[in-house]
Amino acid sequence: MGKSRASLLPSLIGGIVLGVVIATVFFHTASNHDSKTTTTPISATVTSLTAQPSANALLEDERNTIDVFQNTSLSVVFITNKALRRDFFSMNVFEVPQGSGSGFVWDAKGHIVTNFHVVQGASALSVTLYDNTTYDAELVGQEPSKDIAIVRIDAPRSKLHPVVVGSSEGLRVGQKVIAIGNPFGLDQTLTTGVVSALGREIKSVSNRTIQGVIQTDAAINPGNSGGPLLNSRGELIGINTAIYSTSGSSAGIGFAVPVNIVRRVVPQLIEFGKVIRPGLGVEIVQDYIAQRWGVEGAVVAYVQRGSAAYRAGLKGLSENMWGEYRLGDIITGINNQPVKNFDDLGNELEKYQVGDVVEVNVLRGKSKTTIKVTLQEVE
């Protein structure tokens, strides 16, 4: 029995030593594992925190809008339309504001582009620049049928920052647009939106149709008229001209005259004070009378003697001995483009220049014919 206990003692001591060694190794491994798991999240957290953007950081679209405003707002002006009034008691004449709108600098000579309806009926005009300096303005030219007018101020060239003129070709629905103006007299106001539709038609002050108009949802309110509509590059693509609203304020439907019309009209207004308009040299029966007669087309009422139409052989109305009118020529097209009324005729002819030869499609009695006419300048 004593011998058996003596032989078990070395085995017991060896087992204890082996257990201590295994425990030591396990504890060391666990310590290293715990150390790693506690330090890794701290590193990851620091990394993720440093990757978070600043609360004041601007989005790319915001930076673009700010850049366009900073670069273009110097070109936008505030226009005041003044009327002369006479004091009832003293009989003295004085000026009172009768309207206001926006405009923009066209060139370094002081020419300002705006809407015709902004300056219509003005006895005097003033233009306020971005730095709140105000100058008297003179009316240079106007084209009511396109709602465009030019005024000029005598300001230092250092204060005149012409707008960058773009193109209305290639515009797409959904494209970002920016409007800058002075709604309700609040100067240097910016609104943004998109091109909502293209190819709209609106009536001008002269009741002529303006074609190819840009529709936008950028907020346009009274006082925005005449201001620029810009693309995301800060280029002029139109003149803000009208809104569709039942309340008189923005309802998300605004209209702008496309810049390609502006580029064609403005140089003529600056040089001649008017648009050199090509025409035939005829007078047309008013549309409501032609409709009453059941006629579709532009009914020639009178051919001016010596005019292009006179030389080409067009015929107007004739009157018999009983005072009854007999139809002459009815213009149904220009170069095979249909003409249904006076408005259509004007819109087709303005595509050409004075001196161009066009084919006038005519209904004479029951016969259709084509007459070549060299376009002349008309009022």
Q: Which residues form the catalytic set?
A: 117, 147, 225
What is the Cα–Cα distance from 109 to 7, expressed in whole angstroms? 119
Which structure tokens are listed for 127? Answer: 């233009």
Strands (E), 217-366: 228-230, 236-243, 254-258, 277-279, 282-284, 298-303, 318-319, 325-326, 329-334, 337-338, 357-364
The set of residues, in sequence order, having a beta carbon less than 8 Å from that of 135 and lying 6+ positions away, is 126, 127, 128, 129, 153, 154, 155
| Residue 278: strand, helix, or coil | strand
Which SS3 state, helix, strand or coil, does residue 60 take? helix
Whole-number Å distance between alpha carbons of 179 and 189? 8
Can you tell me the distance from the alpha carbon of 362 to that of 329, in angstroms, rounded to the nearest whole number?
A: 6
DSSP conformational letter for 165: B
CB 257 within 8 A of CB 241: yes
Q: Cα separation of 190 and 62, whole Å? A: 13
The CA distances from residue 330 to 295, 338, 339, 341, 379, in Å, are 8, 12, 10, 10, 21
H helix or E strand, kind and range, residue 196: strand 189-203
What is the rounded distance in angstroms from the CA atom of residue 13 to the CA atom of residue 251?
95
Residue 70 to residues 182, 239, 287, 295, Cα–Cα distance (Å): 16, 19, 48, 55
